[in-house]
Structure 1
Amino acid sequence: MSFPRQLARTRRFTTGVPRAFQISPDGARVAFLRGRDGVDTATCLWVHDAERGTDAVLADPHTLGADDENLPPEERARRERLRESGGGIVSYSVDEAFTRAVFTLSGRLFYVDLVGDDTDPRELPATTPVVDPRVSPRGDHVAYVSGGALRVIDIAGAEDDHGDRVLAQDDDEHVTWGLADFVAAEEMDRIRGFWWAPDGSAVLATRVDESAVLRWYVDDPASPEQEPTALRYPAAGTDNPAVRLAVLPVASSAAHRKEGPPAPVWVEWDHEALPYLPTAGWTTGPDGNPTIVFTGQSRDQRTLTLFSADPATGLVAEVRTDTDDVWVEIMPGVPAHTSGGALVWIARDTEGGTRRVYADGRAVSPADVYVRGVVDVDGDRILYSGSPAGRPGDVSLWLVDLGTGLSAPVELPGHGRSQPTDAVAHSGLRSGRLRGDTMVVQHRSMEFTGVRTLVLRNASTETRREVTEIAGLAEAPDLPDPRVTTWRAGAREIPCALVLPSWYQEGGRPLPVLMAPYGGPHAQRVLNARGAYLSAQWFAEQGFAVLIADGRGTPGVGVEWEQSVHLDLAAPVLEDQVDALRDAAERFDCLDTSRVGIHGWSFGGYLAALAVLRRPDVFHAAVAGAPVIDWRLYDTHYTERYLGTPEGEPEAYGRSSLLEDAGKLERPLMMIHGLSDDNVVFAHTQRMSSALLAAGKPHTVLPLSGVTHSPSDPVVAENLLLLQVRFLKDGLKGE
């Protein structure tokens, strides 16, 4: 089987990799999702016994009648925001005691007991289609969304009567309860719209009114009998949805029948000043009672305020406000609270400007660590992720114990080495979960292929630590191990990686260069893990020297580095690609800089098109996949963070748009775009193609019928790679 086909059918070798971990309070068991093998996309729910080191299937979609072709539109949209291309059980929730899990299949609601002898999954007679079900902390109710209404159902009940009832709904078709709006899910990483109170007495929920948001239509001309899909898309400078918060008490089904749906307790703040809702949830206050915590963000994203609220009255109090002259980054995992009540937060150090983890205002992370997020808070322990100083390609984990004073990187077994070097012990990419002093750590590295998933019991006590492993079932790539050299290029020390063919010998004929950047905010490509270079290695095997550069705007280096693209998403990122190429050419004599191609997807597609339009002296052919062409067509929260509004900063939009550059095209350009893309809509490529045609510039457009932002069909994905290679080779033949 060809590597492109294998890459596609294994979902980029993620199928069979354990994920979505939940840990029991005592740390003895770990629930997770995984297929039965490396090509089984119907994901199962499993549980790992950390004492015995064994795994068992709890729920298998093959036996429950899953039909991923019959998903409700809300679930399809949710999966698109998550870039979830698999099927089966793609998410689940567990109760506080880890006794019960709930999930949905094909819009139907199921639960499974995690303890006892009878652990067969059971279906609940919920109103279909069911979207995003969440079990209550006590395990007795399930809240879910159906038809834009937030509902709750009892797990115990008669065969056909489990008290399925409405908590909140509106007759207005533009209003939904309990779902994340587009920009929250796409740009703020808030994929949820409701949260159970810790005692299960109420649900905190969003009410989203999209009536003022632009209505756009995503069409697939290959199916003319189908109506276009209508969506509410908040383009830069236009109206966002109105998002409100309310507390909805959960009464018994009998009381609900008698008294009707509960009256919401509204949680109000200054929506005019802080219209965005990045985070929401609950904590337990000093008095032991549930307390609401949420954040509000200004439209210009220079102010982020943390609030607390009384769930009984909705009364709101400001806890802290962070400001920045450019923008305040929404950091993963915060706000959070320790069992002792300490507020865990991430903010910039007023002295050095770096981001640090704070517990009640005291910094608990070193000043030289690039903090990426808080992973978990377990009692008085804080697990956070970051990159060591000067090593943006490594992502490590640090454990802080406020009780004992421990603050150290999480060390892992040496993967067969009795005494691993520091570089091996702390290199690569680590992600994890922590509960009950049990830590699940996933490790990706240049030292081995794939992902290792380790379960560390007594994680905070090195001398008593016990280690088991959850098996990864992903296929091994049918490809030589990546031949990668990494370095920091030029005066700005741009993180770079050069990938050469396995067969290339020093002193051989110089190779055409293929630059393969993402190059934009919130994504890195130069990482110390083999899996980051599989596609690059395949392109290299076709006869290219593949160069990857993470220029200004990308994460991993520092706050100022990220904010260097403010008011200009074009010039800094393109300049860094050019500088990286020049530096590489000086270091390596195997690069033929008279033949330089560039390809990328999404922001990388934008950068590829930008490169051949504005620097044809450097770049000789480009493939732009799903490119953003005109930033006025992209969403509010992302675009306005970097460029402001079109009305307020018209010059910034002019500098960053590619439409005015159409007449400059001198090099071969292929644009690939899914006709069903609801993130970067096809209008970007269509308008660019029209501008190029008007300027008399030949170009290639490859429209993908029925494809969203990321192609998932194996045949389509395979052929896309093959067509790109053919196009680039033709474009780089030279004079």
Structure 2
Amino acid sequence: MQRICRAFAVLTLPLCVLTATQLVAQTYTPLKNIPGQELMRRMQSAMSGIGEGGSVGDVRWDSTAGELWFEKDGWKTLHLANGEVHDAAKDAQPPESAQPSRSGRNGGERRPARGRQFTSTESPDGAWTAISEQGNLFLQPTKGDRIAVTTDGTDDLKYGQASWVYGEELDQTTAMWWSPDSRFIAYYKFDESQVKDFYILGGWTDTNTRIMSEAYPKPGGANPTAYLMVYDIAAKKQIEIDAFSVASGATEGTEYYLYNVLWTPDGSELLFSRTPRRQDVLDVLAANPTTGLTRLVVQEKQDTWQENRPLMRFLKDGTRFIWETEKTGFKHYELRTLGSASDAPALLATLSSGAWPVESIVQIDEEAGELWFTAWSGDIAVQQQLHCARLDGKNAVRSTRVTTEDLHHSNFRISPDGAHVVADGETTQIPAKALVYSREGNLLATLAQGSVKGFTTHELTPTELFTCLSADGTTTLYGKINFPPAFDATKKYPVIVETYGGPTIRLVTDRFSAGDTTSALGFIVVVVDNRGTPGRGKAFESAAYLKLGVVDADDQAAAVQHLAATRSYIDGARVGITGHSYGGYMSAICAVRRGDVFAAAVAGAPPTDWRNYDTIYTERYMRTPQENAEGYDAGSCVKLASKLESKLLLLHGMMDDNVHPNNTFQLANALQSVNRPFAMMLFPNGTHSIGSPAEQSVKWSFFVEALAPIAPDWPSKKPAAAAAAATLKAETK
């Protein structure tokens, strides 16, 4: 018993590294003491001014005078007809006729804790506050006693609340919705009685521990069931919305998720999204709040998975809306009508088209009948461009590309008349510059340009955008290479691949970067977006469907192999990979599957077997283990543990309620059972993000030991500059 207790105490130390072969007193080197760390600080300082100077401040449009006023070291004017720039008179200000740019931006959204929903909401007229408390829904008037709308709520049956998985994977932050006229309140009825709880032990550093539980549905297991209810304030009556009957369009015997709930602008109907457990079909339904009857507004289908929350943005009339669809294989915009019980919904116009996906709406100008939006539409697929389309869809080519230069564009400021736009344009090696385009796509002027002279001054090499072929030999991948200071192409450098690699997040865009400070330890730092990441069309994003950990990991390996074969300074025998969450999974699966490429890996909070993660996320991309056992096994770090040849470090927070610590424990156990050496550090109070100051120290200590980089020989000044400084000092004595 004493021996067991002593081992358990070691496991729960805040900073411990356990390996299959040893437990040593000095487990890592603090980052500040790692050779090259002082160069990281210098590099951070040297990078701070590189690229600056390319933006302008306030922008005002004087259409009467045909001028643009902009702030850049004082007010300046641009003549829009000939592109001439002049300094304004001292203390001069834009005239009253000069108007600010139009803005389509919304304010920041208030959000509850991760995976949760707000527990109270005030009615639009201020007369009521709806409260979800201890599983039941209550209405509190501004005066008088609260009303219990429900009384049978329990820990498993909740009203006015959803479950963690709805908040985490469907972004459902609300569970109660007032109608605009405050006559009705819609709310969730959530049944979690069939879902197994997952238990986490908290208080690891306290005198006593505590048990924390969460209903957490696992792939192929029981799911929570959501119902939508509506309470009529005046009639004091509640009804259930018909979301599951054949009459509503549901398939008998199919499980559904109900989410993305909102009222129509006029409050006549309740809108919500419905998708089956496989998430390959999306129905947007409109419900009558009095009868509960529903009708179909729009439906989307995919062979793989369907995006759960396409944009649905209403125009001012409250009946037409802009809709985001991927039915062509690329995300595009349509204009649709909501319809009614007596008038069928309809597609009014296709607003964009092309073999590229849209990204987001910048501005809707209903008076001019125009939609301004961004898209990944250039020859370089990681450059964002600005487009303008007619809302009636009558453009011959659907939309006009306004930003015609081969740059990544952002920070758009559109003139009130829509005739011109100021945009920041940049690439990985060209810092942002403020550009003025005409509505037709003509570049009129450059207002400001960022500086790159700091690269030469500080002996830094600009980050490089590169392309290579994926593991299928045909698909183009994009990546970035970050170089160490005083880079010498005649030397060999170890490589660190920083990765995420999963659905929903892309890392590579053609935006300016002055470098990565971790390269100062002596590494080449590489980032690659593999197939399975977004922003390149549905086929690219769906390439890893049913095969997570195979296609995506092989693409990361293919990128490294390409670099090693084409760049003499890449040491293909010293390559590490690291990431967190899905990036942690990518790191671990690359270590066990692709040890021929990756010599070392640091995996932060990795889901090591997809059977351990939640239903909504996992089944969206992998279906259930019952349907896709081969795919789950092929992507399981645990099942493939015996193949580990790389050096592996596992990092995990013991309080991680998202990717549970048992993921790391299962992999550790599998590795120990076959006597494969590895390292592991657990953080007793760490959540999913870990959040410990030791995390970076542990990671980079491991990589420095595993890959043996040599800190760059980077003098504080260039020899010529140092000699000139010494001469000047001597002459002044």
TM-score normalized by the length of structure 1 = 0.68
2:646 to 667, 682, 685: 667
User: Partner letter of residue 333 of structure 2?
Assistant: V
Once the two structures are superposed, the pairs formed by residues 342-357 of structure 1 within 5 Å of their partners are 342-349=320-327, 352-357=328-333
SS in 1 for 2:256: coil
The Cα shift of 1:547 comes to 1.1
CA deviations over 1:10-32 (Å, ceiling 9, x no partner): xxxxxxxxxxxxxxxxxxxxxxx
Could you say which residue in structure 1 is the equivalent of 2:220? 237
Could you say which residue in structure 2 is the equivalent of 1:422? 405
The Cα shift of 1:644 comes to 1.4
User: Partner letter of residue 288 of structure 2?
Assistant: D
The Cα shift of 1:163 comes to 6.1
Could you say which residue in structure 2 is the equivalent of 1:729? 704
Q: Contact (CA 8 Å) 2:459, 2:486: kept in 1 or not?
A: no
CA deviations over 1:608-657 (Å, ceiling 9, x no partner): 11112122221111100111111111111111122211112211111111
Could you say which residue in structure 2 is the equivalent of 1:12? none
2:377 to 383, 388, 411: 388
* 1:267 maps onto 2:253 in alignment: no
Q: Contact (CA 8 Å) 1:482, 1:537: kept in 2 or not?
A: no
How far, CA to CA, are the matches of 1:444 and 1:239 in structure 2? 50
Pair 227,392 (structure 1): closer, same or farther in 2 beyond 3 Å = farther
How far, CA to CA, are the matches of 2:262 and 2:362 in structure 1? 16
How far, CA to CA, are the matches of 2:676 and 2:425 in structure 1? 44
Could you say which residue in structure 2 is the equivalent of 1:599? 578
How far, CA to CA, are the matches of 1:177 and 1:452 in structure 2? 52
* 1:504 maps onto 2:487 in alignment: yes
1:173 to 140, 146, 155: 155
CA deviations over 1:137-168 (Å, ceiling 9, x no partner): 445554454444444555xx5xxx57655555
User: Partner letter of residue 195 of structure 1?
Assistant: W
How far, CA to CA, are the matches of 2:410 and 2:563 in structure 1? 25
Could you say which residue in structure 1 is the equivalent of 2:354? 367
SS in 1 for 2:611: helix
Could you say which residue in structure 1 is the equivalent of 2:556? 577
Pair 211,598 (structure 1): closer, same or farther in 2 beyond 3 Å = same
How far, CA to CA, are the matches of 2:390 and 2:492 in structure 1? 53
The Cα shift of 1:134 comes to 4.0
Q: Contact (CA 8 Å) 1:428, 1:528: kept in 2 or not?
A: no
How far, CA to CA, are the matches of 2:688 and 2:670 in structure 1? 22
* 1:308 maps onto 2:286 in alignment: yes
Pair 495,329 (structure 1): closer, same or farther in 2 beyond 3 Å = same
The Cα shift of 1:687 comes to 0.6
Could you say which residue in structure 2 is the equivalent of 1:13? none
Pair 173,181 (structure 1): closer, same or farther in 2 beyond 3 Å = closer
Q: Contact (CA 8 Å) 1:624, 1:670: kept in 2 or not?
A: yes
How far, CA to CA, are the matches of 1:451 and 1:140 in structure 2? 50
Could you say which residue in structure 1 is the equivalent of 2:717? none
How far, CA to CA, are the matches of 1:434 and 1:184 in structure 2? 41
SS in 2 for 1:659: coil
User: Partner letter of residue 222 of structure 1?
Assistant: T
1:706 to 671, 676, 685: 685
The Cα shift of 1:540 comes to 1.2
1:80 to 81, 94, 114: 114
The Cα shift of 1:513 comes to 0.6
CA deviations over 1:246-281 (Å, ceiling 9, x no partner): 122345xxxxxxx9xx32221121274351124221
How far, CA to CA, are the matches of 2:483 and 2:619 in structure 1? 38
SS in 1 for 2:699: helix
CA deviations over 1:277-326 (Å, ceiling 9, x no partner): 24221114xxx552111111011112211211111111111233322222
User: Partner letter of residue 332 of structure 2?
Assistant: R
User: Partner letter of residue 219 of structure 2?
Assistant: A
User: Partner letter of residue 613 of structure 2?
Assistant: Y
How far, CA to CA, are the matches of 1:322 and 1:51 in structure 2? 41
How far, CA to CA, are the matches of 2:208 and 2:413 in structure 1? 47
Once the two structures are superposed, the pairs formed by residues 512-527 of structure 1 within 5 Å of their partners are 512-527=494-509
User: Partner letter of residue 364 of structure 1?
Assistant: L
The Cα shift of 1:402 comes to 2.4
The Cα shift of 1:670 comes to 0.2
How far, CA to CA, are the matches of 2:401 and 2:321 in structure 1? 22
The number of residues matched between the two structures is 569
- Gapped regions of structure 2 (runs ≥ 5): 1-31, 43-97, 102-109, 245-249, 337-346, 442-457, 710-733
CA deviations over 1:577-612 (Å, ceiling 9, x no partner): 121112223443321112111111111111111112
Could you say which residue in structure 2 is the equivalent of 1:318? 296
Once the two structures are superposed, the pairs formed by residues 586-735 of structure 1 within 5 Å of their partners are 586-712=565-691, 716-717=692-693, 719-733=694-708
Once the two structures are superposed, the pairs formed by residues 455-474 of structure 1 within 5 Å of their partners are none
Q: Contact (CA 8 Å) 2:380, 2:406: kept in 1 or not?
A: no
* 1:283 maps onto 2:264 in alignment: yes
User: Partner letter of residue 703 of structure 2?
Assistant: L
How far, CA to CA, are the matches of 1:236 and 1:580 in structure 2? 31
CA deviations over 1:198-234 (Å, ceiling 9, x no partner): 2232222222111111101112333361321100101
How far, CA to CA, are the matches of 2:232 and 2:641 in structure 1? 57
1:248 to 227, 231, 253: 231
Q: Contact (CA 8 Å) 2:310, 2:325: kept in 1 or not?
A: no
Once the two structures are superposed, the pairs formed by residues 139-154 of structure 1 within 5 Å of their partners are 141-153=128-140
RMSD: 4.3
Q: Contact (CA 8 Å) 2:460, 2:487: kept in 1 or not?
A: no
Pair 139,432 (structure 1): closer, same or farther in 2 beyond 3 Å = farther
Pair 214,145 (structure 1): closer, same or farther in 2 beyond 3 Å = same
Once the two structures are superposed, the pairs formed by residues 403-482 of structure 1 within 5 Å of their partners are 422-424=405-407, 427-428=408-409
The Cα shift of 1:446 comes to 5.7
Could you say which residue in structure 1 is the equivalent of 2:76? none
Could you say which residue in structure 1 is the equivalent of 2:4? none
Could you say which residue in structure 2 is the equivalent of 1:226? 209
SS in 1 for 2:237: coil
The Cα shift of 1:387 comes to 1.9
- Gapped regions of structure 1 (runs ≥ 5): 7-49, 54-74, 83-129, 252-258, 413-420, 454-458, 463-478
SS in 2 for 1:688: helix
Identity %: 26
Q: Contact (CA 8 Å) 1:377, 1:434: kept in 2 or not?
A: no
Could you say which residue in structure 2 is the equivalent of 1:549? 528
The Cα shift of 1:502 comes to 3.4
Larger Rg: 2
User: Partner letter of residue 198 of structure 1?
Assistant: P
How far, CA to CA, are the matches of 2:606 and 2:122 in structure 1? 40
How far, CA to CA, are the matches of 2:568 and 2:687 in structure 1? 40
How far, CA to CA, are the matches of 2:572 and 2:173 in structure 1? 44
1:568 to 544, 547, 551: 547
Q: Contact (CA 8 Å) 2:114, 2:167: kept in 1 or not?
A: no
How far, CA to CA, are the matches of 2:241 and 2:231 in structure 1? 11
How far, CA to CA, are the matches of 2:180 and 2:401 in structure 1? 30
How far, CA to CA, are the matches of 2:670 and 2:268 in structure 1? 57
The Cα shift of 1:557 comes to 1.1
The Cα shift of 1:342 comes to 2.1
How far, CA to CA, are the matches of 1:377 and 1:81 in structure 2? 32
User: Partner letter of residue 289 of structure 2?
Assistant: P
How far, CA to CA, are the matches of 2:620 and 2:332 in structure 1? 21
SS in 2 for 1:583: helix
How far, CA to CA, are the matches of 1:435 and 1:214 in structure 2? 56
How far, CA to CA, are the matches of 1:481 and 1:234 in structure 2? 49
